[in-house]
Amino acid sequence: MSDRELVASLVEGLSHIPLLDIHTHLDASHLAARGLHDVLLYHMVISDLVSAGCPSRARLSENPNGAEAEMRLVEAIPYLPHIRNTSIYWGVRIILRDLYGWMQPVTLDNWRDLDAIIRERAADAEWPRRILKLAGVQRAGTELWRRHGGRYDDVLHYALEWAFFTRAQWDVNDIPLYELERAWNQAGPGAPLPVTMGAGRPALARTVRSVDDVRAAVAHYAANIPYGQVLSTAQHISTDINFREVDDAHMAAALAKRDHATPAERDVYASYILEAFLTELEQHADEIVYQFSFGAEPLPDETGSKLRQETIFEVAAIIARHPRLRFQVFLSSEHASQSLCTLARELPNLSLAGYWWHNFFPGAMRKVISDRLDMVAANKQIGFFSDAYCADWTYAKALIVRRQLAEALAGKVAQNQYDVDEALAIARAILYESPQSLLGFMP
């Protein structure tokens, strides 16, 4: 069998393995694309467009009106020829071709025709289920606040994304405190702050002024997690923060400097709050998984891939201090793949999942897949999540990941590490079985 035939055989075999998409931002109010903007202005495509010279750098609004969507599309379309080489635009072509039968380039003369086709399909409540079925995705996980009454509970599981105590923001040094007190002011879980919030933020009625306030706010947060409704809490651990154990006295001293906080105070706030939160969460260790993303840090309008080696072992110490709590990492830094594999080998309560954000490119994915297959037990890794905001992108990313997994497995088969049947059995383990055993993610 030639190399090409081997890959084709594995692609075919993988197409019959069902997927469990453990992390998305699918919204039950519009599970599929509402129009061309949801396909063409997905934030990863926007980054491609910005690199090509498109002037608008911000993400599209959560619920853009017609004027905003049209303005951004008309602005972006002239730059599409410059990004046709990218793998993210490959995803655009997959969506338009397979889901909407659109084979021609998108231009200023024809985009409204394509937009009308997508909008017509979006009016069918069953269309998202058909997309997921075409993708081979049995269930997808999304944020709890996107449940909207549970109209798609038959295909969705839920995670809690509420406050991000250990996620840095660009030039906002008291952000761990603001994230905590924002949740303290809410009766229950809501939508999280954006990753690029900036300096502007609403005033809050109740603010953190003392260590006792911090503990009360953390207790409020932990008590309002809807255990039983969510499988995990999704967080971000920022490499810009130096994590260490912090006592009450040092936290109190840092709180006194809040009005003029520096990164040093930010690190104290984040370290203290995280430890208090994990201590509370460990009491529910059998009910929830602590998922965290790793290796993407804020720029003024988006993020870039960044991860210090020191942070990896700071996180290892955190995980080791909480042996009953299950941790799962989404990695966005290719260079750290081997290091995270070594941690998963040595820390029984750490598992690895997918190819997040700046790792979601074919070359990076194949390296991460290969590293993990060689170094980490199959039941300690999950082979897919899409991070999609609509089912259309779940479909495209499912096809792209299956292809990269086939390429990586073909290399193992070619060197007689596995035969084809064993390769497909391993693929089934990481795509379908591990999400169930590691997360309780039921088909």
What are the pLDDT digits (tens) for 184-211? 999 999 999 987 776 678 889 999 999 9
Q: Which residues pair with 382 in a beta bridge?
A: 353
236 phi and psi, to 5 degrees? -135, 135
80 phi and psi, to 5 degrees? -60, -40
68 conformational bin, left if phi > 0, alpha if psi -120 to 50, beta if neither: alpha
What is the tens place of the pLDDT at every residue in 246-291? 999 999 999 999 999 999 999 999 999 999 999 999 999 999 999 9
What average pLDDT does the structure give for the chain? 96
List the CATH code of the domain at 131-439.
Answer: 3.20.20.140
Q: What is the pLDDT of residue 199?
A: 61
- The 8-class DSSP code of residue 227 comes to B
> How many angstroms separate the Cα of 435 from the Cα of each of 5, 157, 257, 379, 442?
30, 12, 43, 9, 8
The number of beta carbons lying within 10 Å of the beta carbon of residue 76 is 24
Q: Which residues pair with 137 in a beta bridge?
A: 19
Which amino acid is located at 442 in the chain? M
Which amino acid is located at 94 in the chain? I
What is the tens place of the pLDDT at every residue in 394-404? 999 999 999 99
Q: Smallest Cα–Cα separation from 332: which of 303, 310, 309, 311?
A: 303
Q: Which residues pair with 142 in a beta bridge?
A: 158
On whether the CB atoms of residues 160 and 186 are closer than 8 A, the answer is no
Q: What is the pLDDT of residue 195?
A: 79
Residues 6+ apart with CB under 8 A from 256: none
The average pLDDT across 36-58 equals: 97
Q: Smallest Cα–Cα separation from 344: which of 387, 301, 365, 374?
A: 374
Which amino acid is located at 146 in the chain? R
Domain ranges of the chain: 33-126, 131-439
- To the question of domain 33-126 being in CATH 1.10.3470, the answer is no
Element (H, E) at 351: strand 350-353
Q: Are strands 296-298 and 303-305 parallel, antiparallel or unpaired?
A: antiparallel
Q: Token match 């084709």: residue?
A: 8
Residues 6+ apart with CB under 8 A from 413: 6, 10, 419, 420, 423
CA distance 358 to 26: 20
Read out DSSP for 47-98?
A: HHHHHTT-S--SPPPSS--HHHHHHHHHHHGGGGGGGTTSHHHHHHHHHHHH
Tokens of 56: 């608008």
Angle (nearest 5°) at CA 72 between 95 and 364 = 45
The average pLDDT across 28-55 equals: 97
Q: What is the pLDDT of residue 200?
A: 72
Helices and strands in the chain: count of H runs, count of E runs: 17, 10
The average pLDDT across 361-386 equals: 97
Q: Length of the chain, please?
A: 443
What is the tens place of the pLDDT at every residue in 318-329? 999 999 999 999
pLDDT tier at 149, thresholds 50, 70, 90: very high
294 phi and psi, to 5 degrees? -155, 130
Q: What is the pLDDT of residue 197?
A: 72
Q: How many whole angstroms from its chain centre is CA 431?
A: 16
CA distance 320 to 341: 15
Read out DSSP for 153-190?
A: TTTEEEEE----TT--BTTBTTHHHHHHHHHHTSSS--
Buried b (16+ CB within 10 A) or exposed e, 253-276: ebbeebeebeeebbbbbbbbbbbb
Q: Are strands 326-331 and 350-353 parallel, antiparallel or unpaired?
A: parallel
Q: What is the reported pTM?
A: 0.96
| Three-class DSSP category at 110 | coil
Nearest 10 degrees: Cα torsion 151, 152, 157, 163: -60
Q: Are strands 350-353 and 381-382 parallel, antiparallel or unpaired?
A: parallel
Which amino acid is located at 98 in the chain? D
